[in-house]
């Protein structure tokens, strides 16, 4: 276990030597206990190492490496008989409507909001694509990992704590419907009565020349922070009312 902890980059070789020495002289304490007491390994890390070792020592139960599918989420769902092609097409059409107004809504979110896929379904589908949603144990930052490997240890880019697999959250359908309604309404040609006539400058109203300046448009949300190591996405800056979205492309 000590060697694997070094191999996985969890501890240094010096730490291993030190904890081996200590465990040798402390009766009834395993190396795992010592490493945890020394703060070298978290409970999560120690237990995960045990699971990996167990799997390796038992070749019959060793999982076959499954190559992630290149299929898109919708295609995969159709292939598995979870959805009809018509349902997927409908969701894609909706996704395009959102995209037209600059909103990137993952297809999985649309399908979940309609109740056509459960969070478990989407979890399984993205897992098949080699993706996984992980959450920081400490600061709760969420990351979407591509090329997820069960035997790897993932660390939080913010606080370096362990990242653990977490549940996918679904967006409330009502919120999506509201957005869609806004988008569709904006596409309608404006009735003539709604066209604003420029406000007349009020005489004596300060030193303003000409028409009063239009109210500044609200600032656009900043670009998503890319996590350069895990290819994940930090969902800490989404300030629209759709909340944290996982990025699933179709």
Q: What are phi and psi of 125, to 5 degrees?
A: -65, -45
Minimum CB–partner distance for residue 155 and Zn ion (Å) = 8
Stretch that binds Zn ion, among 70-78, 124-132, 156-164, 235-243 (CB under 5 A): 156-164
Tell me whether residue 73 or residue 156 sits nearer to Zn ion (CB atom). 156
d(CA 198, CA 97): 32
Q: What are phi and psi of 242, to 5 degrees?
A: -85, -5
Q: What are phi and psi of 97, to 5 degrees?
A: -60, -45
Minimum CB–partner distance for residue 158 and Zn ion (Å) = 4
* End-to-end alpha carbon distance in the chain: 40
d(CA 131, CA 249): 11
Contact between residue 65 and residue 151 where contact means Cβ atoms under 8 Å apart: no
d(CA 110, CA 105): 7
Minimum CB–partner distance for residue 233 and Zn ion (Å) = 14
Among 3, 53, 99, 159, binds Zn ion (CB under 5 A): 159
d(CA 112, CA 135): 20
**Tokens 């206990």 identify what position?**
33
Contact letters for Zn ion, residues 105-144 (x by CB under 5 A): -------------------------------x-xx-x---
Minimum CB–partner distance for residue 135 and Zn ion (Å) = 9
Question: CA 106, 109, 111, 114 torsion: positive or negative?
Answer: negative
**Is 164 among the residues that bind Zn ion (CB under 5 A)?**
no
Among 114, 128, 158, 224, binds Zn ion (CB under 5 A): 158
Minimum CB–partner distance for residue 14 and Zn ion (Å) = 26
Q: What are phi and psi of 45, to 5 degrees?
A: -65, -45
Tell me whether residue 62 or residue 159 sits nearer to Zn ion (CB atom). 159
Tell me whether residue 11 or residue 157 sits nearer to Zn ion (CB atom). 157
Minimum CB–partner distance for residue 136 and Zn ion (Å) = 3
Within residues 2-61, the interface with Zn ion by CB under 5 A covers: none
Tell me whether residue 36 or residue 141 sits nearer to Zn ion (CB atom). 141
Interface size with Zn ion, residues (CB under 5 A): 8
DSSP state of 11: S
Which residues of this chain interact with Zn ion, rule CB under 5 A?
Answer: 136, 138-139, 141, 156, 158-159, 161
């Amino acid at each position: 276990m000590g060697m694997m902890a070094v191999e996985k980059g969890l501890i240094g070789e010096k730490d291993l030597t030190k904890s081996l020495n200590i465990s040798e002289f402390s009766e009834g304490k395993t190396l795992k206990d010592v490493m945890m007491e020394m703060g070298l390994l978290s409970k999560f890390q120690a237990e995960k190492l045990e699971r990996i070792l167990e799997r390796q020592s038992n070749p019959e139960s060793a999982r076959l490496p499954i190559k992630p599918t290149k299929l898109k989420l919708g295609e995969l769902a159709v292939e598995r008989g979870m959805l009809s092609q018509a349902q997927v097409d409908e969701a894609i059409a909706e996704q395009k409507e959102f995209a037209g107004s600059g909103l990137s809504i993952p297809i999985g979110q649309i399908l979940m909001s309609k109740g056509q896929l459960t969070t478990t379904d989407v979890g399984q589908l993205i897992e098949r694509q080699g993706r996984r949603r992980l959450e920081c144990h400490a600061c709760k930052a969420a990351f979407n990992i591509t090329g997820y490997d069960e035997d790897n240890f993932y660390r939080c880019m913010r606080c370096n704590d362990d990242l653990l697999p977490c549940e996918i959250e679904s967006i409330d359908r009502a919120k999506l419907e509201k957005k869609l309604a806004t988008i569709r309404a904006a596409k309608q040609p404006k009735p003539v009565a709604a066209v604003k006539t420029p406000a007349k400058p009020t005489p004596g109203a300060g030193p303003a020349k000409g028409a009063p300046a239009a109210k500044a448009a609200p600032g656009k949300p900043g670009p998503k922070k890319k996590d350069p190591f895990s290819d994940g996405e930090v969902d800490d800056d989404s300030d629209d009312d759709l909340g944290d979205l996982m990025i699933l492309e179709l």
